[in-house]
């Protein structure tokens, strides 16, 4: 969903979308990483990112990257 979308320039937007959908795509995760490394963000963005991390740890948001990794590991075990 986020691939090729140039309007996603806000950490808050990505976090809000992930929290609403319960899913963080690999493209959104990469954009979030890029924004965190290159943007002068404030306390609101930092809190939003922290909320997303907690939601992932608590199982409220699934990460596509982790699901793919788990599938790869399971395929090697099988």
Digitized pLDDT (tens) for each residue of the chain, 78 residues in all? 444 443 456 999 999 999 999 999 999 999 999 999 998 889 999 999 999 999 999 999 999 988 888 888 888 987
Nearest to 47 by CA among 15, 8, 7, 10: 15
For 29-70, strand residue ranges (E) read 62-63
Q: Is the torsion defined by CA of 9, 11, 12, 17 positive or negative? A: positive
Pairing of strands 23-24, 62-63: parallel
How many residues belong to the chain? Answer: 78
Round the CA-based radius of gyration of the chain to a whole number and report it: 13
End-to-end CA distance of the chain: 31
């Amino acid at each position: 969903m986020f691939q090729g979308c140039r309007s996603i320039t806000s950490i808050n937007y990505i976090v809000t979308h992930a929290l609403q959908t319960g899913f963080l795509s690999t493209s959104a995760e990469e954009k979030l990483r890029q924004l965190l490394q290159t943007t002068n963000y404030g306390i609101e963005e930092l809190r939003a990112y922290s909320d997303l991390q907690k939601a992932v740890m608590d199982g409220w948001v699934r990460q596509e990257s982790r699901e793919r990794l788990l599938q790869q590991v399971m395929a090697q075990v099988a």
